[in-house]
Amino acid sequence: MADAVIVVALLLVAGCATAAVATRDPMRQALVLSLLGVVLAVLFTVLQAPDAGLSQLAVGSALTPLLLMLTVRKVKRRAQGKERER
């Protein structure tokens, strides 16, 4: 039974990671990466590593998406600024 939870979590991580690579638009990739962070925290918990899970939750749920989305916004705003000048 404990093995069943581990298998479920492992397959979810594999699926999320593949989806994160296959999603080519950075904005949508940030959404998948935030889901990957949560799923990974669950995997760490079932592998009995709550400390690592806590660290993954803290980083993956809000910090990484915020950094990625701010970069996307900066690059987009810059491109829009250039368009307007033309």
Partner 1 sequence: MRAVMDVLPYLVAAWVFLAGCYGLATSRNLIHAVGCLSVCQVGTYVLLLSVGYRDGATAPVFSDVKPGSRPVVDPVVQALTLTDVVVGATVTALLLALVIQVAKRHGTLDPDELSELRG
Partner 2 sequence: MTRRARLWVLLAGGAGLAALLVAACLRLPHFGGKSHPYGDRAVHASLARQTANTISSVNFDQRAFDTLGEMTILFSAVLGCVILLRQTHDEHRARPEPAEVAPPVRRYALVVLPVALLSGLYVIAHGQLSPGGGFQGGVVAATALHLLYLGADYAALERIRPVGAYEVADALAASGYLVMGIAGLIGGTAFLANTLLPYGTFNTLSSGGTVPLLNAAIGMEVAGAVVVLLARFLDQAVEIEEESGT
Partner 3 sequence: MNGWTLAAALGLAGGLGTALWGVTTGPLRRRVVAQNLSTALACPSLLLLSQAYNRPSYVDLGLVLALLGPVGTLVFARLLAEELAEDPPRAWGATLTVAGLGAAAVIALCVATGPGRAMAKLLVIGALLISGNIIASRALSGGFRGVRGG
Positions in the binding site for partner 2 (CB under 8 A):
50-51, 53-55, 57-59, 62-63, 66-67, 70-71, 73-74, 77-78, 81, 85
Which of partner 2, partner 1, partner 3, none does 26 bind, CB closer than 5 to 8 A by kind? partner 1
> 3-class secondary structure for 4-33?
HHHHHHHHHHHHHHHHHHHCCCHHHHHHHH
Nearest to 16 by CA among 51, 34, 25, 60: 34
Residue 62 binding partner 1, by CB under 8 A: no
Give least dist CB 40 to partner 1, A: 6
